[in-house]
Structures are given as C-alpha cells and as structure tokens.
Structure 1
Amino acid sequence: MKSVISIGNQDFISIRKNNCFYIDKTDFIREWWDNQDSVTLITRPRRFGKTLNMSMTEYFFSVSYSDYDRYFEELNIWKEKRFRQLQGTYPVISLSFADIKATNYESARKAIIRKLVRLYSAFEFIKESEVLNEKDRAYFDSVEESMSDDAAAVSINYLSDYLSRYYGKKVILLLDEYDTPLQEAYIHGYWEKLTAFVRSLFNSTFKTNPYMERGLLTGITRVSKESIFSDLNNLEVVTTTSEKYSSSFGFTEEEVFLALENNGVLSEKENIRYWYDGFSFGKRQDIYNPWSITKYLDTGEYGTYWADTSSNALVSTLIRQSSAKIKSEMEDLLNGGVISTELDEQVVFEQLGKKRGAIWSLLLASGYLKVDRHEMDVKSGKHQYALKITNHETMLMFEKMIEDWFEEDDAGFGNFKEALLAGDLDYMNEFMNQVAQQTFSSFDVGKKPSEKLEPERFYHGFVLGLIVDLAGKYRITSNRESGFGRYDVVMEPLQAQRDAIVMEFKVQNKAREKSLQCTVENALSQILEKQYDEELIARGIPQERIRHYGFAFCGKQILIGTDKEQKNIENH
C-alpha cells in the first residue's frame, strides 16, 4: 500500500501516527544500547535521518512518552521483550543546535542560552519537588538569558542531577547537529570564542556528569578533540568510514527498491541508482540519501534535491581558493576519476585552507565524495583512501558550483571560449584579459597573493570552468605527463571535426625575457621540445589538427600567442 509522503517531517510520532512513508530504523536503538558506549558521536551528511533517529530515540526511552509503545509495536525493536520493557523508562534531555546559524559570537551564544532556558522551562514541574532544596531552586530560577558563561556551562549537568533525583534513574542526553553553530563560527570568523564557550558546556555535560546514563550526539563533521572535546576520553566517535551503525542512517538499496515497488515505480530503479546511489558508510557501498528518494517518490521527477538543501558556500570557497594541487585533483574528480589521499576525520577548521587532506575529509564527511577503495599500510598504520564524486546528483552540484564562479563574468568567459574554439587570437587576448582581471583575486590564496603562484592557481580554476562548460565536446586535462614533460592544459576533441588544443602557461621572467612576447615564444617552444602532442597523436589525432597556444603572465596582464602566428612572422 502506498504511504503518504510527508516532506520534511522529522518527528517520529507524527510520521507513525499519520501512517506516513517510513523506513524502519529502530534497529539503531538496539545496536546503540547493546554497544554500551558512554558517549557516542555519530557523523553523517545532512538530510540523512539524524534528526528523525534522534526523535525516535527520545520517544522510545523518555519516561514522558511511556504510553507511546503502540507506535513501536510493528517495528523491529519490538521483537525482543527486553526492549519492550525499556520503552518509556528513562528521563531524557534532548537538544538540537540545527537552527543556530548566527553571523557573530554574541548571537550564537544567546541562541544556545535560550535553548538552555527553554529546557529548564520544560522541566519546571520538578522545581517544587521535595528532591530539590532551596539552593537547587535558586539555581533553577537563575537559568535565564542573562546568565553567565560559568552558570551556562553547568546547566545541563545540574539538570541531569535534578532529573536523576526526581525519577531515581540516570538520564539519557541527546544533542542533535552539535556542529552547526561551529561551522557558522568558522565561516563568520568567531571560531575561537565559540569553541571556548562550547568546550566548557560539553565537558560539564558529557565528561564530568555522574548523572548521565548514556550520551548521544550527531553532526556532519567530527570537530577536533582539541577544539571542543578536550579531556572527553569517554567519547566513541562513529564517522562515515566506521563500521558501526552503517545502515542506520540513509536508505540501503534493498530499502529503496522496496519503496519503489510499493509506490509502483520499480521500473525506475536503474535511473534511481545512477542519480542517487553511491554513499558509503563503513563497508556499506549501497547507501542512498533519504531526502532525494523521498522527494522523487513525492514528485516522480529527478532533481538535485539533496544538493539543493544547502548553499554549499564553505565548499565553494575552499575549492576556489585552494592550491593548484587541490584544483588539479578536482579536475580528476570532475572527469570521473579518483584521487588518493590520507584522511584526517578530526576536522580542524583552521587547517581547511592549508592542509591537503582536510578539505577531502570535509567533503567526504559532507557526502560530496565517497570511498571507492581503502588500503592500510600494515607497517606504518597509515590509511590511504581512493575518493570519487558520490553520484550524478553531486556531480551536477559541483558543476553548478563552478559555473557560479564565472557568473559575474559570464560574458567575458563565454566569449573567450567561443574565440578559443574558433581560433580567433585577437578576441582570445581581449576576453582572457577581461576574465583574468575579474577573477584572479578570487582564485588566489592567502593574505599576500603571490605574483608567481597567482597565475597557476588561476589557470587551474579556469580549467575547471572549461571542463564544466565544454563537457561533451572535449576531454580536458591539465598538468599531465606527455612526451618528455608535463603539459599545462590539453583539450582533446570528442568529435572528429574539432581541433585538439594544447596550452602552456608561463609567468614572465623579467631577467631573461624582455617582453611578454618572449615569454609566449618560450611557452610555445616548450610544447614542441617536450613533445606534448605525443599523447594526442597516439590517440589518432593528426599533427595538423593540433593547435598550440602559449599564455604569458605578468601580474594580471596576459598575452596569448600561437605557433602558427610565430611561423607567419618567420615567413615574412
């Protein structure tokens, strides 16, 4: 029977009560409880059911919902008597930081404080209980928006104590999307202030809290222990590469295909696989994001549903301002290839623009990349991961992101491409200088842009734009070995009637090159001397169908020349 598709509903009871589409994930409760870890942090990409699972967990354990057993009766968790006896027997403190997206520290701090105040309001009924004394009641009343950092830090610890005394049982602590305000703090420049505040709150809540039975946190990233989890040695961290809970978040292929069958669209399974399959958790390689599957079942149409649920601003900025090496690896990914890297799953936001593995770790944690294969060196203990773009939906997201880089200069970039394909050198020079003037600074890295490195970083970003815009017409690669060296850019036509193009980029050496024209000539000479055409010729492209261009840079000034132009000068 086809269920009602409730878009965006993350409340477990609302879904169950109204017979909405739901895939049973209650085995997560059994697995989490049986593991007996003191505090568990689970990281998963956005829209992967973290909030719904936290809602499910709260409704299952909370003494406030002891009469909600009927909503679990037909689910997997109800098959075992010991879990039937657990339902509704624990005091539960549940918080979510999902909506804390402030642009400054004071706003973020106030938002967290307001959540603590509302939490105390929800349990105000215990204030007059005999289990609290006058000092306890005085502190209870002091939990207000004007409270100090010290008072806020111990607020959940104290509330755990009060609830433990009231119910005669230790509490279960749930914190959903713990890292949302931390990511905003990094983007908006108040990281150090917020982490100092959050560190005190978390240590008191999850480390020095004798009234806690279990703690469970979810988020997208594993923020480094040094940043907010200092001294929290009772923390079990489950990332996307971990085996634990590998099928608890997201839909497995079996679950997706059953949903398609129940909704009468099983014939679409191959298209669904192409668009949305590819997420991997632990050794599971068949995970789908629930948001896109649910949206497809609701609309019957394919779209970048999951990718569109975020602005992707952080990812875009990190890639755009990354080193030439990172951009070159991004080219491989866009061409359907893989990159090999070590991962540091403790994301240190300060290192995202500096440490090569950090950006790939963030992209993996966020769901934009997946693990294609994994190897460990037994002697060194180091892990090497082969990563690739997750699926067609995420590929389209990356392509749109790169197109947006050139949006402000759409006319200049578009005109340059037309001039390049037509072989119009005058127009190429005009439009390339226009593009460079407007986009150089945004592709450079660091507070002091380097004139030497700026063109290299620019051209790799520029090549990414070419790859996206000319897909289907050319196979575009850069910085690859061919002949006796490494060429800068090669455009191999996918249709026989088009010319191949080889480009070499050079920064003017003013000590040896009197003009940009000399730099262009040296770039063209290098193409010939290093035999960069060799790979193209080996693929069956005749020499006369290969065009050479030398790009010379001096600051933001660019001159482009061809060997055909050079031959014309020599002939005259």
Structure 2
Amino acid sequence: MARTVAIGVQDFETIRVKNCFYVDKTAFIREWWKSEDEVTLLSRPRRFGKTLNMSMLNYFFSNRYPNRGDLFDGLEIWKDEEFRQIQGTYPVIFLSFAGVKHKDYENARSMLNELISGLYSQYAWLIEDERYTEFDRKFYRSVQAQMDEAVSSLSLNRLCEWLYRYYGKKCIVLLDEYDTPIQEAYVNGYWDELTSYIRALFNNTFKTNQYLERGIMTGITRVSKESIFSDLNNLNVVTTTSNEYATSFGFTEEEVFAAMEEQGIEENEKTQVKKWYDGFTFGEVRDIYNPWSVIMYLDKRKLEPYWANTSGNGLVDKLIREGNPDIKIEMETLLKGECIETEIDEQIIFERLEEEDNALWSLLLASGYLKVEEMMQEDPEGSRLYRLKIVNFETKNMFEKMVSRWFNRGKTFGRFVSAMFDGNVREMNHYMNEIALNTFSYFDAGNNPSGKKEPERFYHGFVLGLLVDQARGYMIKSNRESGLGRYDVVMEPKDVKDTAVIMEFKVFDKEESEKTLEDTARNALQQIEDKMYATDLLQRGIPSDRIYKYGFAFEGEQCLIKKA
C-alpha cells in the first residue's frame, strides 16, 4: 500500500509515526559519525532535506529520546548494531535560524536572542540542581531577548558546559540554516553588525568549547572565512562539489523512480519528471533530483515549477538585473541551454557580490540554480575553473519568468515586439522610449561609483527579454561585443515563412562625427549592410523583403529607431 505523501512535514518523528512517504537517508548518520570531524559545515540548496536530516540526527542522538528504535526500525542505520547502542545517549542542542528574516539588525538580534532564550527555557529544571552555583543561575537568568553581545556569545558554550556537568557527556550541537540571517543582513544593509554577533557566537560555540562532542551546521552557502569563520580552523566544509554526503540530500534517480512506482504513476511519466526535476550534481554523483518538487509532483500529479516558485529568488534577480553587461551576456548563453566557463570560489563573499561576476556564479551554483558540467582546472590557491549549466527545465523556467518580469510593466514590451514584426517604426519608437524610460534606472541600480549610467546594462537586458519572449518561434543570435560599440541582434525564424529581424544598437558618440541621433541610427543601418548580416538568412531562403533591418541609436534614456 502506498504511503501518504505529506507536504511540508520536517519533523522526523511525525513522518515515521504516521508512516508518511519517506526516502531513507539514515546512512547519513553513519557517514557523519564515522568521519570523526569535530565541526561540519554542509551547504545544499534550499528545500533539499537539510531540516529533515537535522531532525533525524536529533531524534537519533538526543538523550531526550532514549529507546526510540521504533523510529529507525527497518531503516538502513538500524541494521548496524554499533549504532543501535548509541541511539538516544547524547545531550543535543538543536537550533534553527530559518525564521530569522528581518529588515534591521535590532530585530534580527532580538530574534536570535529569543531563539537561544527559548532553548534555555527547556532546561530551567537543570540549573536548579545542586551541582550548579548561584553564578551559573545568574548567567542563566541573563539570557533573554535583550541580552548584550557578551552574554549571547557565551550562551551556547555555557549550556554545553552545564549539560556536560549533569550528564557526564559532551554535547552535540546541530544548527540548521545558519546563513539565513546572514543573507538577510546583506540584502537589508546591516551586514557588519550581524556578522560581528554571529562571529562571536560561532567562535565560542564551535571553536573554544571544550564541552563540544560534535557540531554540524547546514545552510545554502559557504560564507567566506573572513566574514564569520575567521577563528574556526576546525571546520570540515562540504559544498555541492564535495563527494562527501553526495546522496544524503536530494533524491537519486533510483529513489525517484521507486517512489513513482509505489504511488502507481505510469512508466511513461518518468521522462518528463527527469526533464523537470533531475540535473543536480553533488561531487561526482549526477542525476540528483530536487526532493521538494518530486514530493509535490507525487502529491499533485502535475508537472509544475514547485521549487522555483517557493520564493528565495529576490537576491538572484537583483544581482543579475543590476549586474554588468558581461553577466547578462553569460545569462544569454545559459538560457540557450549552453555552458559558460568561469572561475568559482565556493567561499561566498557577500561584500563582493555586486563587484565580481565570479561571486554571482558561485552563489548560483551553491543555491542550486546552476550545475557543474565539468571541472576544467584547479588553481593551487583554491579557485577552480568550471563549465556551468542551468540545472533543469524547472530552473530554466524560473530564469525566464524572472526576465519576463523585468519588462512586465503594462503591455509595452509586447506592443513593441508586435510593432517590430509589423515594420511600424513610428510605434516602435514610441514603445521603446517608454520601455527605456521605465526600466533604464531599474537595470542600472547596481554599484556605480562614478554615478554614470551604463547603457549596456539596459541593452543586454533588453536582448534577454527578446530571447525569452520569442524563444518559441525564433533563434536569437547576437554578436555581443563589450564596450559601447555595436551590439547586433539577429532574430532568425524557425519557420522560413516568418519575418526575420536584424537589429544594430549604437550609442550616440560625438567623437565619431555624429551630430544627431539620426546620424547614429543611420550608421547602425550602414553597419548591417557593410557586415552583410543578412547573408545567412538569405541562404536559408528567407526573402529579402521579409528581413527587417533596424538601427537603434541611444543617448541616455532617449532612443531613436530607423528602418532600412
């Protein structure tokens, strides 16, 4: 009988007691424990089972759940007698930062303090024991929402000490979603204050803590050592390119197909499920499926972008939209299903996200939007050259919707495209100036110390819009040189009966003896002729009268378009 597919349940006990659908990941317990690593930092994309696995570890090791072999009976870990003996025998501190999403430092700090204070309240009985001094009790009472940083930084360290004194065993510390408040701090502008708080807390909990047996932190990103881990040289950092725990998060193809069979889903559905949700690569293991989307599909029996629609894309949207032209050029390549080659440093340096392209690609890789197709070479200092690709159809769909939203301000973009295919230059000029006026600053809001606007941010974003909007009927080709020179675009129809379009972008330049935008637009048209951009289209059999040639001239947010 097929097990019930429960959505959003992240408590291991609930899933097991109610016999809900569950893919056995208990081998993770053995692999982690046998590693003997003191502190493990494990990064995986959002909704990849991190919280459920941490809950599983808590129920397995915590002495608050002794003799709970029933939760693990029939699972991989329970086949091992050695591990049966240690179930429920350690003091465990289990904490999650997943809900710390605030727009200012004061509220974020208060929330973190509340989480720690709530943890303390579970042990109110402990501190009254005769083994503890009045000094211990005074510190215990000082742990509250408004405690100062000196108290908060020592709070988990002290709790480990008290548990050790009571039980005679060192503590296991499980911290889920450690980087959620860090990302919020970056987005909302209180990075320095928050990282100071986190650095002190982590140092005292995971480094200078003689009562720590093991620690594990999960998150989406590996935040740079300089930011919060400067004193933690005892970390084993496991990222999406590491071979450790490669099948512990996400579903393997074998697990997905077995689940589909259990739920009575027909064999012919496997190809589409693979297209939508497969494609993640962890270490050397390929064909890892997105677990959230698979579970939603098993329940709803519909192919939808479930994972891509669960928010969390705002930072990615901002960085790509406001990024320099090279970023949009690379996105153009990715959206065509091709690979980009880039250096990756898996230590995400948030302070440099808007300054260094490589930092963005590192974030997209860690977050699960891109996958490694091939590692090209490794630098002795840590940087690696990778070939990256969009993970799967679901992720591509998310990027396409993101680009579409850039121009979804009324129906102006669609009207512009219609006018372009109709050859109506008058309407094209009207709509393009409206688009430029509404979106120029929107694309140019990134770091720009000089204060000058960079027109290419707009041009390349506009081409991405065409690529997404017309992908069904057209192959969008671009000869995308950097700098403020030419940027020609050819829209080649898949059906030779349709209209082809050639566009040339130029920026008004007085140094080229251009007195007006009219001159610039004419020069753009002349370049189309001089470079014979229509040659391939003519050879395909598209008649010359169905090849529309447009010269675009820009000066700031003003645009003039002429047709040959």
TM band (smaller chain): over 0.9
Q: Contact 2:371–2:391 at 8 Å: present in 1 too?
A: yes
Secondary structure of 1:407's counterpart equals coil
Alignment of 1:311-350 (within 5 A): 311-350=312-351
Alignment of 1:62-101 (within 5 A): 62-101=62-101
Q: Contact 1:131–1:162 at 8 Å: present in 2 too?
A: no
Task: Determine whether 1:161 maps to 2:161.
Answer: yes
Deviation at 1:454, TM superposition (A): 2.4
After superposition, the Cα gap between the structure-2 partners of 1:377 and 1:40, relative to the gap in structure 1 and judged at 3 Å, is closer
Alignment of 1:221-260 (within 5 A): 221-260=221-260
Q: Aligned partners of 1:96 and 1:152: how far apart in 2?
A: 16
**Corresponding pairs, count:** 559
Q: Aligned partners of 2:451 and 2:152: how far apart in 1?
A: 49
Deviation at 1:446, TM superposition (A): 3.8
Q: Aligned partners of 2:130 and 2:149: how far apart in 1?
A: 28
Question: In the alignment, residue 164 of structure 1 is paired with which amino acid?
Answer: Y
Q: Aligned partners of 1:246 and 1:377: how far apart in 2?
A: 21
Q: Which digits, 9 at most, give the CA deviation of each residue in 1:227-269, with x for residues without a partner? A: 1111100001101111000000000000000000111114211
Q: Aligned partners of 1:73 and 1:269: how far apart in 2?
A: 30
Alignment of 1:120-199 (within 5 A): 120-199=120-199
Q: Quick one: percent identity of the two aligned structures?
A: 57
Deviation at 1:467, TM superposition (A): 1.1
1:218 maps to 218
After alignment, is 88-97 or 436-445 more displaced?
Answer: 436-445
Q: Which digits, 9 at most, give the CA deviation of each residue in 1:425-455, with x for residues without a partner? A: 1111111111101000111154558798622
Question: In the alignment, residue 231 of structure 1 is paired with which amino acid?
Answer: D
Q: Contact 1:550–1:560 at 8 Å: present in 2 too?
A: yes
Question: In the alignment, residue 346 of structure 1 is paired with which amino acid?
Answer: Q
Deviation at 1:539, TM superposition (A): 5.0
Secondary structure of 1:14's counterpart equals helix
After superposition, the Cα gap between the structure-2 partners of 1:421 and 1:449, relative to the gap in structure 1 and judged at 3 Å, is farther
1:59 maps to 59
Structure 1: runs of 5 or more not aligned: 564-572
Q: Aligned partners of 1:377 and 1:221: how far apart in 2?
A: 20
Deviation at 1:11, TM superposition (A): 0.2
Question: In the alignment, residue 549 of structure 1 is paired with which amino acid?
Answer: Y
1:352 maps to 353
Question: In the alignment, residue 352 of structure 1 is paired with which amino acid?
Answer: L
Q: Contact 1:507–1:519 at 8 Å: present in 2 too?
A: yes
Task: Determine whether 1:301 maps to 2:302.
Answer: yes
Secondary structure of 1:376's counterpart equals strand
Deviation at 1:364, TM superposition (A): 1.1
Q: Aligned partners of 1:201 and 1:195: how far apart in 2?
A: 10
Task: Determine whether 1:290 maps to 2:291.
Answer: yes
Question: In the alignment, residue 304 of structure 2 is paired with which amino acid?
Answer: G
2:550 maps to 549
Alignment of 1:471-482 (within 5 A): 471-480=471-480
After alignment, is 500-509 or 376-385 more displaced?
Answer: 376-385
Q: Which digits, 9 at most, give the CA deviation of each residue in 1:525-547, with x for residues without a partner? A: 22222333344455554555432
1:428 maps to 428
Q: Which digits, 9 at most, give the CA deviation of each residue in 1:465-505, with x for residues without a partner? A: 11111121111122358xxx975211111111122222111
Q: Aligned partners of 2:42 and 2:544: how far apart in 1?
A: 56
Q: Contact 1:333–1:389 at 8 Å: present in 2 too?
A: yes
Secondary structure of 1:309's counterpart equals coil
After alignment, is 454-463 or 520-529 more displaced?
Answer: 520-529
Q: Contact 1:328–1:478 at 8 Å: present in 2 too?
A: no
1:44 maps to 44
Q: Aligned partners of 1:465 and 1:158: how far apart in 2?
A: 55
2:493 maps to 493
1:28 maps to 28
Q: Aligned partners of 1:240 and 1:426: how far apart in 2?
A: 51
After alignment, is 254-263 or 351-360 more displaced?
Answer: 351-360
After superposition, the Cα gap between the structure-2 partners of 1:401 and 1:381, relative to the gap in structure 1 and judged at 3 Å, is closer
Q: Contact 1:328–1:479 at 8 Å: present in 2 too?
A: no
1:395 maps to 396
After superposition, the Cα gap between the structure-2 partners of 1:323 and 1:551, relative to the gap in structure 1 and judged at 3 Å, is same
Secondary structure of 2:323's counterpart equals coil
1:370 maps to 371
Q: Aligned partners of 1:45 and 1:370: how far apart in 2?
A: 11
Question: In the alignment, residue 346 of structure 2 is paired with which amino acid?
Answer: E
Secondary structure of 1:301's counterpart equals coil
After superposition, the Cα gap between the structure-2 partners of 1:330 and 1:386, relative to the gap in structure 1 and judged at 3 Å, is same
Q: Which digits, 9 at most, give the CA deviation of each residue in 1:346-381, with x for residues without a partner? A: 111121111011111111111111112222258887
TM-score (structure 1 length as normaliser)? 0.95
Q: Aligned partners of 1:53 and 1:531: how far apart in 2?
A: 60
Question: In the alignment, residue 265 of structure 2 is paired with which amino acid?
Answer: V
Q: Which digits, 9 at most, give the CA deviation of each residue in 1:137-166, with x for residues without a partner? A: 211121122211101000000110000111
After superposition, the Cα gap between the structure-2 partners of 1:508 and 1:401, relative to the gap in structure 1 and judged at 3 Å, is same
CA RMSD across the alignment: 1.8
Question: In the alignment, residue 424 of structure 2 is paired with which amino acid?
Answer: D
Secondary structure of 1:308's counterpart equals coil
Q: Aligned partners of 2:65 and 2:270: how far apart in 1?
A: 39
Q: Contact 1:452–1:507 at 8 Å: present in 2 too?
A: no
Q: Aligned partners of 1:69 and 1:232: how far apart in 2?
A: 35
1:566 maps to none
Q: Aligned partners of 1:336 and 1:13: how far apart in 2?
A: 42
